[in-house]
Amino acid sequence: MAEQAYTVASDSETTGEERSSSTVPEIAIGIDIGTSQCSVAVWSGSQVELLRNTRNQKLMKSYVTFKDEVPAGGVSNQLAHEYEMLSGAAIFNMKRLIGRVDTDPVVHASKSLPFLVQTLDIGVRPFIAALVKNMWRSTTPEEVLAIFLVELRVMAEMQLKRPIRNVVLTIPVSFSRFQLTRIERACAMAGLHVLRLMPEPTAVALLYAQQQQQNVHENMGSGSEKIALIFNMGAGFCDTAITATAGGVSQIRSLAGSTLGGEDILQNTMRHLIPNMDSYFSRHGINEIEKMGLLRVATQDAIHKLSTQPSVEIDVDLGNGRKIYKVLNRKEFEEVNQNVFEKCASLINQCLSDAKIEVADVNDVILVGGCSNIPMIRNMVTGICKKDVYSGMNPLEAAVRGAALEGAVASGVNDPFGSLDLLTIQTTPLSIGIRADGNNLVPVIPKNTTMPARKDVFFTTVHDNQAEALIIVYEGDEEAVEKNHLLGYFKIMGIPPASKGVPEINVCMDIDASNSLRVFAGVIMPGEQNPSAPFMEIRMPTVDDGHGWCAEALNRTYGSTLDLVTVQKKVQH
């Protein structure tokens, strides 16, 4: 509920500001906040340019250190050594933690990071803290992200010599709408206004569309359609998309994503080196943090080297007579991470089948993200697609370049050469539905539905004379509701007395042009034209931070007394 107040405030603020605006039109910048690295790009008037920090870096490490009184992020701060980032004073991987509750497996996997991630496993936000002068000082992923974004904004403002307000951010495909609100909040805290949040592979797809447009000087629409498969794997997430491109229009056909990334590969490999790693480091004392940092740096280094050499020597002294010495070869490394590679392959296959595209129909295979250097990833992708990788893109810059293009397009910038005559037709990355038919998620707007979208499904009561019905809205693609992201809940009241199965309960979901979701619900009795009581309209998500226990509490309080079952599906145009 707090979120809505924030949304309203930001809307009215924007309107007021823009009415009185008298400056030149602002071109939104594109930001790719990676789990491990971050970059900023902007349309310069003729092309996309990446901005550099004062140390001439285009890719900056995503972390904020709380070592001194004033927190410093990876944009401005110079690390004396990588171990400094692993001393406990720095928070990183915030993209993996944002908007997650303490029962989430991704949060649990973060407990082996040097800073403190404490969980009570009840469905509230985890306690996250940085080590400052031997004390754990608490913070939140939103706060860390906001501090980092402020540094990025200052950097961009210095270089572009103008105030920056509007941004296009790339986000992982698997992010829920609740997580998007957290990203928007972090941006608002940093004084930034989000024009668009683009799933990373769709930003890459837009860049691809522009490249195709420049290559083929044909009439719009009559140019042949090209199908591209995009596989993007970074430190925190793995995303796949199929896009059909022609005439500068990138039509997203399917999306698939998971929280699988380089961090998992790193942790699997660390666990391979120290099988009892979790218990070994669980005390989280200063000594353990230091040792864990040593192991982390050595393992990361080894993984990087294995991309170019067949084997690598790992030699770490963990103190107290404990030394790790191992020669790790590529085959062993691949076996250790078998599960990761298999999951990646299944994402690609799922994406192809969702898009109803045969491998033979794919024109280009685009491989981007930090993990695209890993030979096994490359072999897996080319093996499935039976095609070499598209060579026209820098794997570490593709997403931010796409975001900058979208920033220019969304800011209404025109290019006389038609380089910005681009359009992305987005689809929903996850299904959105309600709990019905027992404990199942019944999608109202299925995954990969073209946006904007409006769909409705009819439900009915499960008890005779049931006067109320509970509508619990979830996002995700797992059958059992509790495995999906909860977005909100409300009650339909005043259902006229009738036998079970008679009242028609209409649940309609609408995703508008600005990607905001509204849920409409109400009851109509058979043979009647008008609803029995006023329809409800709720903007989602309505849940707040500690929402993990809400569904459980609802279940405990109401059981199945306010349940619904599906009647029929029909699409409303």
List contacts with other proteins (CB under 8 A).
Answer: 7, 10-11, 14-15, 18-19, 21-22, 24-26, 166, 184, 193-197, 217-222, 225, 246-247, 249, 251, 409-412, 414-418, 421, 423-425, 450, 452-454, 512-516, 571, 573
According to DSSP, residue 119 is labeled -
The nearest distance, CB 453 to other proteins, in angstroms, is: 7
Q: Decide whether 42 or 274 has the Cβ nearer to other proteins.
A: 42
The nearest distance, CB 573 to other proteins, in angstroms, is: 5
The nearest distance, CB 512 to other proteins, in angstroms, is: 6
Going by C-alpha positions, the residue among 469, 460, 464 that lies closest to residue 499 is 464
| Cβ atoms of 76 and 151 closer than 8 Å | yes
CB within 8 Å of 233: residues ≥ 6 apart: 239, 260, 261, 262, 344, 369, 370, 371, 372, 377
Q: Decide whether 152 or 409 has the Cβ nearer to other proteins.
A: 409
Q: How many CB atoms lie within 10 A of CB 478?
A: 14
Element (H, E) at 251: strand 249-258
Q: Decide whether 271 or 539 has the Cβ nearer to other proteins.
A: 539
The nearest distance, CB 356 to other proteins, in angstroms, is: 9
Q: Decide whether 214 or 346 has the Cβ nearer to other proteins.
A: 214
The nearest distance, CB 415 to other proteins, in angstroms, is: 8
Q: How many CA atoms lie within 13 A of 77 on its CB side?
A: 22
Element (H, E) at 315: strand 311-317
The CA radius of gyration of the chain, in Å to the nearest whole number, is 25
18, 20, 25, 31 alpha-carbon torsion, rounded to 10°: -40
Q: Decide whether 163 or 412 has the Cβ nearer to other proteins.
A: 412
- CA-CA distance, 288 to 283, in Å (whole number)? 7
The nearest distance, CB 215 to other proteins, in angstroms, is: 13
The nearest distance, CB 389 to other proteins, in angstroms, is: 26
- CA-CA distance, 221 to 246, in Å (whole number)? 6
Q: Decide whether 450 or 499 has the Cβ nearer to other proteins.
A: 450
Q: Decide whether 75 or 204 has the Cβ nearer to other proteins.
A: 204
Q: Decide whether 391 or 514 has the Cβ nearer to other proteins.
A: 514
According to DSSP, residue 448 is labeled T
Q: Decide whether 196 or 291 has the Cβ nearer to other proteins.
A: 196
- Residue at token pair 């006229």: 496
- CA-CA distance, 341 to 327, in Å (whole number)? 22
| Cβ atoms of 478 and 441 closer than 8 Å | yes
Q: Decide whether 56 or 417 has the Cβ nearer to other proteins.
A: 417
The nearest distance, CB 479 to other proteins, in angstroms, is: 25
DSSP-based three-state secondary structure for 382 = helix
Q: Decide whether 438 or 452 has the Cβ nearer to other proteins.
A: 452
Element (H, E) at 424: strand 423-425
- CA-CA distance, 439 to 483, in Å (whole number)? 11
CA 6-20-47 angle, to 5 degrees, is: 85
The nearest distance, CB 181 to other proteins, in angstroms, is: 11
CB within 8 Å of 5: residues ≥ 6 apart: none
Tokens of 567: 């009647």
| Cβ atoms of 542 and 414 closer than 8 Å | no
E-strand stretches of 110-248: 116-118, 127-132, 135-139, 166-171, 193-199, 226-233, 238-246
The nearest distance, CB 478 to other proteins, in angstroms, is: 25
DSSP-based three-state secondary structure for 308 = coil
The nearest distance, CB 405 to other proteins, in angstroms, is: 13
The nearest distance, CB 39 to other proteins, in angstroms, is: 21
| Cβ atoms of 42 and 27 closer than 8 Å | yes
Q: Decide whether 11 or 313 has the Cβ nearer to other proteins.
A: 11
The nearest distance, CB 15 to other proteins, in angstroms, is: 6
Q: Decide whether 471 or 511 has the Cβ nearer to other proteins.
A: 511
- Residue at token pair 């085959």: 331
